[in-house]
C-alpha cells in the first residue's frame, strides 16, 4: 500500500492517528483495564474493584469505544469528502486497539509520517505529556523487532479554543438551558480534577490547565448569554478525582458545589462538561449518575449539556488542524491566548514520577 499524502510548506503527512484513553469492552476487561490505566500509581486492587463498579453499571463496557469508532468513521468521511483521502488509524493508551498495534499496522501499510489527534483538548501531564510518553513506549515496542522504523509522529495542537470544539458546546448549553426548566439558571462548567502540582507545571509557563479552562468558560458563558437568559456569573468546578486524600487536587467538587448553589438560592444550573470531548464514563457516571442524582436528592434543578462528540464542526476541526499543521490553513482560535503550540517544549507538563521519553517535543539543550 502506498499512502496518499497531504503536503504543504510546513511538511507532509500520509496518515492521521486518533489517540485515545481506551476502555473495557466487557465485564472481564474492567479490572485489567484499570490496572493498565493506573499502573505505577500504587492504587490497591480493592480500589480498582470499587471503581470498576462504575463500568459494571454499564455492562462492563465503556462508552468511549463506540464514540471513538464513530469519530473515526466521521473523520474518514470528512477528509475524503474534501479530497484528502488520508488513512485514519486508531490506537489507545490503556486498552485494545493499543497504540503499538496501530503503529505496526501503519508501518505495514507503508505509512512514513503521521499526525496525531489526542482526545484531550487541554495542556496537562495526564492530558498531553502522558499521551506522548505512551506513544514513545509504543514506538519502542514496534522497533524492538528490528524491522523497519515506526512511522514518525507529530501532534495536532491543543484545540480547547478552536471554534469546532467550542461552537457545539455553545449549542448544547443553550439547549440545556431550555431543558432545566427554571429562569436564569447558572452555568457550571466541569472538568477533570488534577493535582495542584500538575496544574502548576502545566504548559511552558505553568498554570496552563486552569488558564485554558477559564478562557473556555468565559467564552462559552458570553456566547450562551447572547442567546438565552442565564445568570451573569459562571463557575468552574471539578470532578472525577482519583488521587490519595492527602494530595491536594483542584476543588470544589461538583456535588459540593451544587450544595453551595442551593444554599445561595440559585434556582437551577446547567452542567457543561467542557473538559471532555465525548460522553464517556466520566460524563455518564460522574455527572449523569452521581452529580445529577445528588442534585435530585437536594432538590436543585439541573440539566447536563452535551459534548462535541461527532458534531460535524468538531470533525471538520480535525481536517482544519491537519491543514494548519502543514501550512495550508490559517490557525483559528477564539480565546485571548491565541493558537496553541503544536510542538511541546520539553520542559512543560513534567512527569511527576520522574523523566520519561516522549514524542512530539523540542529537545532542551
We report the CATH number of the domain holding residue 81 as 3.40.50.1400
pLDDT at 220 over 60: yes
In a domain, 283, yes or no: yes
Integer CA distances (angstroms), 276 to 30, 66, 208, 294, 308, in order: 21, 16, 16, 21, 8
Looking at the fold, whether 135 and 185 belong to one and the same domain comes out as no
In DSSP notation, 197-239 reads HHHHTSSSSS-HHHHHHHHHHHHHHHHHHTTS---S-EEEEEE
Nearest to 15 by CA among 108, 97, 98, 81: 108
Using the structure block, give the residue that is written with the C-alpha cell 454499564: 58
Looking at the fold, whether 84 and 175 belong to one and the same domain comes out as no
Higher pLDDT pick, 96 / 37: 96
pLDDT at 45 over 80: no
Looking at the fold, whether 168 and 147 belong to one and the same domain comes out as no
In a domain, 357, yes or no: no
Residue 237 has a CB neighbour count (10 Å cut-off) of: 22
Secondary element (H or E) of residue 114: strand 113-118
The x, y and z cell numbers of residue 160, run together, are 480547547
Using DSSP, state whether 171 is helix, strand or coil: helix
Using DSSP, state whether 6 is helix, strand or coil: strand
Alpha helices in the chain, H assignment, sequence order = 30-38, 45-56, 63-81, 99-108, 130-143, 163-180, 196-200, 208-225, 254-264, 281-284, 292-298, 312-325
Looking at the fold, whether 59 and 103 belong to one and the same domain comes out as yes
Secondary element (H or E) of residue 19: strand 15-20
How many Å is the Cα radius of gyration of the chain? Answer: 20
CB 94 within 8 A of CB 24: no
- CA 7 to chain CA centroid, Å, is 27
For the stretch 148-190, pLDDT in tens is 999 999 999 999 999 999 999 999 999 999 999 999 999 999 9
Secondary element (H or E) of residue 90: strand 88-92
pLDDT at 199 over 60: yes
Q: Which of 275, 304, 333 delimits the end of a domain?
A: 304
Looking at the fold, whether 131 and 33 belong to one and the same domain comes out as yes
Looking at the fold, whether 249 and 318 belong to one and the same domain comes out as no
Mean pLDDT on 90-113:
97
Looking at the fold, whether 35 and 98 belong to one and the same domain comes out as yes
Looking at the fold, whether 266 and 244 belong to one and the same domain comes out as yes
pLDDT at res. 1:
47
pLDDT at res. 221:
98
Q: What is the share, in percent, of the chain residues with pLDDT greater than 90?
A: 85
Looking at the fold, whether 59 and 183 belong to one and the same domain comes out as no
pLDDT at 2 over 80: no
Q: Report how many domains make up the chain.
A: 2
For the stretch 224-246, pLDDT in tens is 999 999 999 999 999 998 877 78
The pTM assigned to this predicted structure is 0.95
The x, y and z cell numbers of residue 259, run together, are 450544595
Domain with 56, as residue range(s), is: 6-159+311-325
pLDDT at 345 over 50: yes
Looking at the fold, whether 148 and 188 belong to one and the same domain comes out as no
Nearest to 309 by CA among 79, 128, 55, 70: 70
pLDDT at res. 50:
80
Amino acid at each position: 500500500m502506498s499512502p496518499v499524502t497531504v503536503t504543504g510548506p510546513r511538511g507532509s503527512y500520509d496518515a492521521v492517528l486518533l489517540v485515545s484513553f481506551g476502555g473495557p469492552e466487557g465485564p472481564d476487561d474492567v479490572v485489567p483495564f484499570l490496572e493498565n490505566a493506573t499502573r505505577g500509581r500504587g492504587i490497591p486492587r480493592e480500589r480498582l474493584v470499587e471503581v470498576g463498579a462504575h463500568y459494571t453499571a454499564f455492562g462492563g463496557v465503556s462508552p468511549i469505544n463506540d464514540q471513538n469508532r464513530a469519530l473515526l468513521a466521521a473523520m474518514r468521511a470528512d477528509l475524503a469528502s474534501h479530497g484528502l483521502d488520508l488513512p485514519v488509524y486508531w490506537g489507545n493508551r490503556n486498552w485494545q486497539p493499543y497504540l503499538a498495534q496501530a503503529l505496526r499496522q501503519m508501518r505495514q501499510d507503508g505509512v512514513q509520517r503521521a499526525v496525531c489527534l489526542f482526545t484531550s483538548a487541554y495542556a496537562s501531564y495526564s492530558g498531553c505529556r502522558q499521551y506522548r510518553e505512551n506513544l514513545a513506549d509504543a514506538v519502542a515496542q514496534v522497533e524492538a523487532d528490528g524491522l523497519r522504523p515506526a512511522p514518525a509522529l507529530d501532534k495536532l495542537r491543543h484545540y480547547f479554543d478552536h471554534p469546532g470544539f467550542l461552537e457545539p458546546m455553545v449549542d448544547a448549553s443553550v439547549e440545556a438551558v431550555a431543558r432545566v426548566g427554571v429562569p436564569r439558571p447558572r452555568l457550571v462548567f466541569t472538568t477533570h480534577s488534577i493535582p495542584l502540582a500538575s496544574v502548576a507545571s502545566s504548559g511552558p509557563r505553568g498554570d496552563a490547565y486552569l488558564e485554558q479552562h477559564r478562557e473556555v468558560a468565559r467564552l462559552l458563558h458570553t456566547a450562551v448569554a447572547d442567546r438565552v437568559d442565564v445568570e451573569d456569573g459562571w463557575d468552574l468546578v471539578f470532578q472525577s478525582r482519583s488521587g490519595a486524600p492527602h494530595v491536594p487536587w483542584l476543588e470544589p467538587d461538583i456535588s459540593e458545589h451544587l450544595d453551595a448553589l442551593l444554599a445561595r438560592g440559585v434556582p437551577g444550573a446547567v452542567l457543561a462538561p467542557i473538559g471532555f470531548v465525548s460522553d464517556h464514563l466520566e460524563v455518564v457516571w460522574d455527572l449523569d449518575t452521581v452529580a445529577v442524582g445528588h442534585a435530585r436528592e437536594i432538590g436543585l434543578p439541573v440539566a447536563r449539556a452535551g459534548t462535541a462528540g461527532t458534531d460535524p464542526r468538531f470533525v471538520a476541526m480535525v481536517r482544519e488542524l491537519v491543514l494548519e499543521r502543514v501550512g495550508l490553513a490559517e490557525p483559528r482560535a477564539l480565546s485571548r491566548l491565541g493558537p496553541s503550540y503544536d510542538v511541546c517544549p520539553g520542559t512543560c507538563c513534567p512527569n511527576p514520577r520522574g523523566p520519561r521519553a516522549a514524542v512530539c517535543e523540542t529537545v532542551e539543550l
